[in-house]
Structure 1
């Protein structure tokens, strides 16, 4: 076809630019969604100690499908959606490995300067709870909201982490089981 190829360096540069642009757009959209959730909470008169309070839907996933065995995924993601708007309020990612760092380590070299995405050293099982907890911890400072009701699957570790580690309103969080997960368990 005689189409010139893009060099690896050019591809990486463009990938980083587009990734940065997408991240900025995502943050902007999440801020707009949170503002809408906040407005709706105020209109409903839904407050916790004077701070607008909302219901959120939370879930997480891993890079590798397993069920009740082999909890060794290298990456995981968690999301928080506003129940009223059904829009994304928070997203987090945990990675246990970085290809560039791993290659350098296998060659006993210092890794070249790069954007390292490794941000997790604990168990794969703890990824989801940590991501959701971070979203709850940032809710009030970032959006002026408190997530006081959570719709989620039967994962009790997330709920326990929230109750123990979210200051001020953590003990007041109410968990509601997701109807889909409840039906699957029956």
Structure 2
């Protein structure tokens, strides 16, 4: 068996990461294409879209923060050790950027196509408002202490919570 730090494991990590990127990214297109063909979003769950935007935006903040910020990477290595790999790959950043873009595009379709009498529920608006207000409070708390690792961890927690919330109605 290959060592975790081996070339073979790095190749497997990258290949599986990009395979996941393409698999999950593909899942956004059938709805976008259907909306375009019908020029309608009737039947699309607007709550799911709004919750999905919050989830994927939080995931993007987490991924981009860990991947691009040297300050966050330093805090990560100070907490977990310099031999620990940052737990975000380029495919993670690419997927979260793609997911936010396609979700925003689908929400744009909601604005321009026939939507019947559908609208975002008050419950969804309330949940989303509480989440983003909480995130703002966390930014205010993290800013003076430069607690960037803690802050991106908050956004990671938000994306996990939002995943549970957005799929709960399907259970």
Q: Which has the higher helix share?
A: 2
| Bigger relative contact order, structure 1 or 2 (CA pairs below 8 A, ≥6 apart) | 2
Per the normalisation by structure 1, the TM-score is 0.36
Answer 1 or 2: which has greater strand percent. 1
Structure number with bigger Rg:
1
> What is the TM-score normalised by the length of structure 2?
0.39
